[in-house]
Structures are given as C-alpha cells and as structure tokens.
Amino acid sequence: YDSSLPDDDIKKALKDHFGSCGAILRVDMPGFFSFATVIIIGDDANDKGLELNGSEMGGRKLSVTVEPWPEPKILDVPYGAL
C-alpha cells in the first residue's frame, strides 16, 4: 500500500479490499513500514485471502501470507484457584 496516505485511509482501503474474505477483526500497520496485518475470520478466510496475493491496491502489488492464529489455552484448574 502507499504508506504516504493517512493511516485511516489505508485501513479503510485494506478492509474494503479484504472484506470479501470474511469478517475483518483488526487491521494493524506498525510504524513506518509498508506492511500491514489484517486479521480475518470466517469460512475459508485463509484461502480467500491468499487468492488476493499479487492483487493491486492503490497502484501497489500486494504480497499476502497467512500466519497461524494461536490456539486458546484451556486451564484445567478449579474456578477461582488462580
């Protein structure tokens, strides 16, 4: 994406671009880097997101990768023991 644009404009464009992949939970853009993390949930969200690899947004070619979502940890302790 074009990192010279305002953050809110970039986040909206990313949400619009990836909206067909599932429910967008969050868009993060760390500092001065030209990358973002888009967290999407839904049926086949990973596959749908990967289909957008190489697509263009704002005249820039996107590189899409999938990162594993951490599994929740279930503690086997009595209620109130922590």
Query: Domain map of the chain by residue range?
Result: 7-61
pLDDT band at 22 (very low <50, low <70, confident <90, very high): very high
Mean pLDDT for 56-81 is: 80
Report which DSSP code applies to 77: S
67 vs 40, 45, 50, 59, 81, CA distance in Å? Answer: 11, 12, 11, 25, 34
CA atoms within 13 A on the CB side of 29: 19
Share of the chain above pLDDT 90, in %: 50
pLDDT band at 80 (very low <50, low <70, confident <90, very high): low
Long-range interactions of 19-24: CB distance < 8 A, separation 24+: 20/48, 21/45, 21/48, 21/49, 21/52, 22/48
pLDDT at 20 over 90: yes
Tell me what the pLDDT averaged over the chain comes to: 86
